Structure 1
Amino acid sequence: MTSVPRRTTPAAVKVHDTILDRLGERIVSGQVPAGERLVAADWGEELGASRTAVREAVRVLESLGMVSVRRKSGITIRPSTDWMAFAPEIVRWRLRGAGRLVQLHELSELRAAVEPAAARLAASTADGVARAALGAAVQDMVTHADRANGADYLAADVRFHATLLRASGNSMFAGLTAVIEEVLVGRTEQELMPQTADETALRLHQEVAHAITRRDGEAAARAMTAIVDEADRAVQSLPL
């Protein structure tokens, strides 16, 4: 008789994600410092999770460079310099921690290096579908501007930046899509977005879309630089 492969249920996935998040956040926060050795069974008992759930979460942490696993020495926390800094999971955990404003500023510096260049390239490489998608995303942002801290505005903002990076034609830039998404999601999740969208930010998003449509790479890059600078200033003005 042919065996039926086991399927991972949504509930099992949720448990795995919850355990992974809790462990990841503890490591990122420094609650479990680098060099400390742990036993998976101890984590399972503390978190009320099965050994299998903890083992799967540890595998992910190992793949992210956050822990090393040895048969006799157990689990050892690795220094943050070994972590995959661009991994969306690590970005998310850092944005949930006490140092989230520092992380946002560092991510703004990354965006300042990447997104204007992506906008400049997109002005040359974006096809009609991508240009239309940028325009539609901006229009949705305007439509939901009175709830800039809500899910609909966030979805439109994420769609705009994801489309821009992919439209650049540079696979390295496109590979940062998930990182930029975590930045945008993190700002909303941590209640760092205003109730009403900033008019200047909306205008700048429109300028990027229009510049790409008319194939003006320099104008697209300037507007994108202004978007990132404005977002960083807004974050830096928040109390620590």
Structure 2
Amino acid sequence: MLEIHNLCSGYGQGQVLFNVSLSIQAGEVISLMGKNGMGKTTLIRTIMGQLSQRSGQVRVASRQTRGLSMHRIAAMGIGWVPEGRMIFPSLSVEENLIATAAIRSGNPQVWKLQDVYEMFPRLQERRNNGGAQLSGGEQQMLAIGRALMTNPKLLILDEATEGLAPKIRQEIWQTLAKIKAAGLSILVIDKDVKALSRLADRHYMIEKGRIAWEGDTAALIADEHIVKRYVGI
């Protein structure tokens, strides 16, 4: 579904990513963890074409993304929930959801408006409210719902539960488990190691722009020093 090989990227003259390699298979959930400023968001922005690839390769469903615009990469089947959510504040909840809706062939599930409302009943209750009138948790639900409405094959979440109340965080993790059960591939960035260990199949740790560790959940749980060193928790 996603294959990254020896990817280098950065901003201006500064290089942030150094030979990053990472892969996600169809139906697999992968976590990306690391301290602040280690390159997590830079990696996502490079995958999505917001930043140029200096060297290396990014392939989505075996197709090269180098030189493609953001909307063309998204059209390959990637739904992005960016850090900060970036919903449209002047549009209603329902308008946010249908603004980027698309139907793609070969998806494990077709996401329609009613499916999102069933996943997030609170959004249906507030469907006529403006995006700016929502709480932080509701905005995150809306950002996830909007990404699902593009009917992606891969869902990418940058800081999935950062800054949210504990009850809302729990609801988001439960929702991601349902999305995984529907067969969607997921790449998720977060600092909640316990939640990620329950959700994800494999994990990557990034430090100073390099993949410093990778392994499955059993390996992650077996070595408590991994989390302390690379996540700082």
TM tier, smaller: under 0.3
Task: Give the greater-gyration-radius structure (CA).
Answer: 1
Structure with the bigger RCO (C-alpha within 8 Å, sep 6+) is 2
- TM-score (structure 1 length as normaliser): 0.24
Q: Which structure: greater helix fraction?
A: 1
Q: Which structure: greater strand fraction?
A: 2
- TM-score (structure 2 length as normaliser): 0.24
